[in-house]
Amino acid sequence: MSAYVVAAPASRLLVIGEEELWTLNGCSHEFACHLFKILSGRVRDDNNRLQISLRAQQQFERASGVDALPITPCMQPSTADVTAP
């Protein structure tokens, strides 16, 4: 697992391996609760961003008058439009 992080202010980073993480999680109820609170908040934030993005995409599609439907055979170029080499 890896991550790319950009910190605006000066920061200190603590690297914890997977085994140590689960050991801490199993030994400390407070640590486990804090970890799950952070992770659930991130999932919730990502879900909100995805919903906003989907709404914007739908608005753009309606504004452009273009369906989000796949191309049907009647929309594809006919074989008469294709020139042989």
Contact 64, 70 (CB under 8 A): no
Measured distance CA(29)–CA(19) in Å, rounded = 17
CA angle 49, 50, 56 (to 5 degrees): 90
Output the pLDDT for position 12.
Answer: 85
What's the pLDDT tens digit per position in 21-78?
889 889 999 999 999 999 999 999 999 999 999 999 988 888 776 555 666 666 555 5
- Domain residue ranges in the chain: 29-63
pLDDT above 90 (res 4): no
